[in-house]
Amino acid sequence: MKTMNAIVQPAYGSVEVLRFEEVERPELGDGEVRVRVHAAAVCQGDVHLLTGTPYLVRLVFGLLRPKRRIAGQEMAGTVEEVGPHVTALKPGDEVYGQVPGGAFAEYVCAPADLFAPKPANLTFEQAAAVPISGMTALQGLRDVGQLKPGQKVLINGASGGVGTFAVQIAKALGAEVTAVCSTRHVDKVRSLGADRVIDYTREDFTRGPERYDVMLDLVGNRPVSDCRAVLAPKGVFVSSAGSPGGNWIGPVVWILGVMLAGMFGSQRMTSLMARPRREDLLVLRSLIEAGKVTPVIEQRYALRETAAALSHVAEGHAQGKTVIVV
């Protein structure tokens, strides 16, 4: 039996439930590839799957305990073996992608179509930081927001994992970018290309005279009515604000509020549910290799230190991405 090191989560709870263990390597299925994980990244979704909150997530991921004992979704590594009928990838390929679980380990097996070639100019650590956050920003701005060159966009929560990608992608799409973040992140966000940076500890972005064609809200810390007030008459509000609303219902009330607001007036109010797409990984790869997008990594941890990495992200003030070196 071949084994590997992994972070095992036997129950919902705090980081105290996590265990660094030697476990059996995952079996390779039809249409899957086995990837040697070199790096993984932590996203806010991993925190929700750790705690099992909001409790609605347990209906999908396990009512009493997690269905998947090994968490982790964003990763980069080298293909070790491919299953039957896999033609797009071969052993030795360097890939990155979003998997449904198992990335906090030395090996992961997942469908081949969840992976794309790693950007050639990124390290494995940098590439692991891209998939979920990069695709969320891309889909929110390009697909849902339908952002066009010359339009004005406001990004609330511009210093986080998704926000740092959103600033750069919006600039790559030709938009004029206003970014909202706290004082300690202002210089970093400005360095990413934002035309204007608002420090929310000193200025209320909902009180300014500027009106935006698109607003990407990654925080959910302001009422929808306040956000609507800064939109142009035909503006689009896109919410990808995690789970405002507490442990029980999480984002349900927030999403319903956004939907209700969208029923009135000429502005479009919508919530974003990002989906993993190989095509978008390829788009991000092109942007990265063209020098238009670069991952921002604040902290790196060893696999044994995954609990500390999750704690750092759970605090809610991380700059860019937090990466686990496997």
Q: How high does pLDDT run on average in the chain?
A: 93
Does residue 144 sit in the same domain as residue 115?
no
Residue 317 is predicted with a pLDDT of: 84
Position 41 scores a pLDDT of: 98
CATH number for the domain spanning 162: value is 3.40.50.720
Does 114 lie in the same domain as 70? Answer: yes
More confident residue, 109 or 241: 109
5-44, pLDDT tens digit by residue? 999 999 999 999 999 999 999 999 999 999 999 999 999 9
Q: Are residues 69 and 167 in the same domain?
A: no
Note whether 34 and 121 are same-domain residues.
Answer: yes
Q: Which of 200, 176, 170, 188 is nearest to 292 (CA)?
A: 170
- Tell me the CA end-to-end span of the chain in Å, nearest whole number: 21
Residue 277 lies in a domain: no
Residue 243 has pLDDT above 70, yes or no: no
Q: How confident is the model at residue 256 (pLDDT cuts 50, 70, 90)?
A: low
H/E run at residue 228: helix 224-229
- Its domain, for residue 137, covers 133-271
- Integer Cα distance of 141 and 127 in angstroms: 21
In whole angstroms, give the CA distance from residue 51 to residue 242: 14
Give the tens place of pLDDT for each residue, 177-191. Answer: 999 999 999 999 999
Query: Residue range 267-279: average pLDDT?
Result: 92
Question: Contacts for 288-291 with beta carbons within 8 Å, 24 or more apart?
Answer: 288/119, 288/121, 288/122, 288/130, 289/119, 289/120, 289/121, 291/121
Of 303 and 219, the one with more pLDDT: 303
| Percent of the chain whose predicted confidence (pLDDT) is above 90 | 82
Q: What pLDDT band is residue 289 in, cutting at 50, 70 and 90? A: very high
Q: What is the pLDDT of residue 259?
A: 65
Report the amino acid identity of residue 187.
D
pLDDT at 262 over 90: no
Average pLDDT over residues 98-120: 98
Q: Which helix (H) or strand (E) holds 32?
A: strand 32-42
Same domain, 14 and 138: no
What is the arithmetic mean of pLDDT over 64-85? 95
CATH of the domain at 89: 3.90.180.10
pTM, two decimal places: 0.94
Confidence of residue 254 (pLDDT cuts 50, 70, 90): low
| pLDDT of 249 strictly over 60 | no
Split into its structural domains, the chain has a count of: 2
Residue 273 has what pLDDT?
A: 86
Instruction: Give the per-residue pLDDT at 247.
Output: 59
Among residues 10, 15, 9, the alpha carbon closest in space to that of 312 is found at 15
Nearest in space to 144 (alpha carbons), one of 110, 116, 127, 169: 169
Q: How confident is the model at residue 244 (pLDDT cuts 50, 70, 90)?
A: low
**Average pLDDT of 95-115?**
98
pLDDT, tens only, 114-140: 999 999 999 999 999 999 999 999 999
Q: Taking residues 135-155, report their average pLDDT.
A: 98
Q: What percent of the chain has pLDDT over 70?
A: 93
Is pLDDT larger for residue 259 or for residue 253? 259
Average pLDDT over residues 289-310: 98
86: Cβ contacts below 8 Å, ≥ 6 apart? 31, 32, 33, 112
Tell me, yes or no, whether 121 and 191 share the same domain. Answer: no
Does residue 48 surpass a pLDDT of 60?
A: yes
Same domain, 252 and 211: yes
Q: Is residue 323 over pLDDT 80?
A: yes
Co-location of 171 and 146 in the same domain: yes
Pick the last residue of a domain from 256, 271, 286: 271
